[in-house]
Amino acid sequence: MQLAPLFPIFYRILQPTFPNCLWSGDRNSQAIALTFDDGPHPRYTPEMLKVLDYYNIKASFFWLGACVNRSPDIAKAICDRGHWIGLHGYDHRSFPMLSSKDLKDSLEKTQIAIYNACNLLPEQVRDVRPPNGLFTPKTLKLFLEWNYRPVMWSVVPEDWVLPGVTTVVERVLNQVQNGSLIVLHDGACGGQDVAATIKILIPQLLQQGYQFVTVDTLWQQAQIN
């Protein structure tokens, strides 16, 4: 069973329940964030990067530490272009299944991998998106204690089950609104279609007047408004 129709409902329930997470940006601004989870991938990420380069779009990437260690050159290429970098854990294990120590180790190992590849200091990489979107109040409390910022989502087209490029594009266009935080994947699950998806999606969103910003910009808007 595909969960795509349920994600907007989850969002409406979870967003007011956990207001200290970043769920979206300013609803009065056409600024939206395009984000990618599970990378970098040696094949899918470079294909996608060419599309972002063509449109001069700055996106946000939530990386797995193991993937950064496997593809450090691709990680550096993304960072050198000015894209925003966040954490997705070391190996995509759901955070609520980890002990506090293992969770901290997972995040710190990923920060080390990013530092080795991109020379970004750990304090520069503190946005975290939980794998599978799964977290608990305890998870969020630990993030705050360790000075991480939890980043969630408002548009989830479920591209990881490969419903097809047309379906993913339609789902995003049907849900997008001012301040949307869009989740796509450039890793092993979903990355097969990601370049083709954003090649169609980006010009249509630009035509509708949206501008693409990073997750960090959405945080700044949230603090101002």
Which residues form the catalytic set?
37, 185
136: buried, middle or exposed (CB in 10 Å: 19+, 13-18, 0-12)? exposed
- Give CA–CA dist 148/127, Å, rounded: 6
- What beta strand segments (E) does the chain contain? 31-37, 60-63, 84-87, 127-128, 149-150, 181-185, 211-213
Output the six-digit token pair for 173. 């266009």
Is 33 in contact with 181 (CB distance < 8 Å)? Answer: yes
